Amino acid sequence: MNEGLSGYELNLADRTFGFGLVTLESDQLQDLDLRAVLGGGVGYPSAEYKATTFDAFSGLSFNQESFSNQADRNSGEILAGEELSCNISDRTSFTQRCISQLHQPWRISRQSRLLCSGQVQSLAGLAVESQQQSSH
């Protein structure tokens, strides 16, 4: 499985931000040549403390999938997520993010995808990251 994710956030007002994202993915086990997701939405920083922030966000995305052995699929998605950031010390920080994407929510037989990641990073240059994805 190969995956790339890029995103951008822009402050729209004092307590609101907008975001955009692009995800590209391929998976030989699923015969998935390319999944391209383009999306965006708005978010709200729910909690801000001295060393901790918690953001909640939601939006819409468009998913285009190309397969080797079956018909291509295009779908609209609703996405929602959260991000928690903590400064553990002056030199170490922790970030955790989960994004849930619901494919074609207007259909009875819908699919969903959940992507969660966590990262610990220090000023010394050490970074440890973990990522988990599940599809239903």
Over residues 85-103, the pLDDT tens digits come to 888 888 788 888 888 877 6
Whether residue 62 contacts residue 41, with contact meaning beta carbons closer than 8 Å, is answered with no
Would you say residue 14 has pLDDT above 80? yes
Grouping H, G, I as helix, E, B as strand and the rest as coil, residue 83 is strand
Over residues 104-128, the pLDDT tens digits come to 555 554 566 677 777 777 766 666 6
Would you say residue 135 has pLDDT above 60? yes
**Furthest-apart CA pair in the chain: how many Å?**
52
Question: What is the pLDDT, as a whole number, of residue 56?
Answer: 92
54 residue type, one letter: F
**Assigned token pair, 134:** 């599940």
Q: Average pLDDT, whole number, for the chain?
A: 81
What's the CA gap between 19 and 120, in Å, rounded? 23
Grouping H, G, I as helix, E, B as strand and the rest as coil, residue 31 is coil
Q: CA of 29: how far to CAs of 67, 73, 98, 111, 113, in Å?
A: 11, 17, 24, 18, 17
**Assigned token pair, 61:** 């995305």
Question: Which residue, 65, 71, 53, is CA-closest to 104?
Answer: 65
What whole-number percentage of the chain has pLDDT above 90? 21
